[in-house]
Structure formats: C-alpha cells, structure tokens
Amino acid sequence: MTEPMEGEEIPRSIVYLAPHEGESISHYLGRWFRQDVVQADSFSVGGRLRLGKILLRWEKFYFNPPPSSTEIAKLAKLIDLETEQLMQMFPPEGESIDPHPIRLCAACYGEAPYHRMQWQWQSIDRCDRHRLILLTKCPGHKCAAPFPIPSEWPTGKCQKCGMSYRKMVKYQKPG
Ligand SMILES: [Zn+2]
Ligand SMILES: [Zn+2]
C-alpha cells in the first residue's frame, strides 16, 4: 500500500528546478537564480564554486573554450541535476553557436515561454515546427530593440516598447 507509485517524484533538493525540453542554459540559469529559495539564501554559486565568471559566459552563450566536464559536474551537483540533463541545455558537440543576435520563435514561445537552445545554432535561422523565420530583434513599430540574453527574460516582453514576445508571432515571416 505504501510502495511508491510509478512516476512518483524522487525527493530533490530545495534548489532543484526541472529544465524544459530544449531549454537553453542561459534561460535556465536565469530561472534558477530567480527562485525564491535561491534568492533568500543569497546562494552564491560564484563564491562557492568559483564558477561565477564561467556562468556569466554561459548566460551569454560564449562557449569558447567549451564547458569542461569538471565545470559541468560542479554545476550539476550544486543545482541537483543529472550531468546528462545539464548537458542537454548546451549545444551538441560540433554545433556552432551564434551568441548574437538572440533569436526567438514567438509561436514556440506562445506555447511554452522559454528560450530554446536550438535558436542560437549557427546552422538554423527558422523554426521547423512552425515553418517561420526566427526573429532577431523586436518587430515593434520603430522599436527594433535586440532581445536581451535569455537569462534576463523574466517578463517575456520587449524592454523598450513592451510588446509581449508571444504577440510577435504575427510579424514572423514564413520560412
Ligand atoms: Zn516555433
Ligand atoms: Zn520593442
């Protein structure tokens, strides 16, 4: 009777935050740091692990030099993720990344509001699911603000004109 049910969650640390499918490391780190429990404890990843500068680089999608297995293992331990789960938020080996501009498929964002790692692949300029060209800046009237790094996407709105990312779908060209 008291046996664990299938699919029951494994006990996790209080700082555990489940990643979304295909979520980019930058977007995930932003969500992770904004958790109440992390904020309240002034949980200092940089101080504890000397990963501070490295995390900042990853938030900006600077992967040169690429993340080392030691760095990945340290971060995985701290945030209570499996190494494989964490690795999935980085680009796959051999896939080049464009750190600028930050790109967006507003149709994807409307379904689930987070930045996908794939949008920054150098080899990709469209969303295959929606057959739309990715946006590279705000399409708002006379705005054209670049998208901030995804760790700074708490509101999902353009910081200059206020247009919500999900509404930008009507400006996406078919591709
Ligand atoms: Zn899409
Ligand atoms: Zn704008």
Instruction: Give residue limits of the domains in the chain.
Output: 25-87, 106-171
What pLDDT score does 2 carry? 45
5-35 pLDDT per residue, tens: 555 566 678 889 999 999 999 999 999 988 8
Instruction: Provide the angle, in degrees to the nearest 10, between the axes of the packed helices 52-59 and 25-34.
Output: 120
Phi, psi of 118 (to 5 degrees): -60, -30
**Residues at Cβ < 5 Å from ligand 1 ion:** 105, 107-108, 127, 129-130
Widest distance between CA atoms in the chain: 63
- Residue 7 carries which side chain, given as an amino acid letter? G
Residue 138 Cα to ligand 2 midpoint, Å, equals 5
Q: What is the pLDDT of residue 34?
A: 86
126 CA distance to ligand 1 middle (Å): 8
What DSSP element (H or E) covers 7? none
Cα(164) to centroid(ligand 2), Å = 9
pLDDT of residue 53: 84
User: Is 74 in a helix, a strand, or coil?
Assistant: helix
Give the pLDDT mean for 46-70.
82
pLDDT in tens, 114-153: 999 999 999 999 999 999 999 999 999 999 999 999 999 9
pTM of the model: 0.88
Q: Which amino acid is at 111?
A: E
- For the record, the structure tokens of 142 come out as 């006379």
pLDDT exceeds 60 at position 44: no
> Ligand nearest 138 Cα, by number?
2
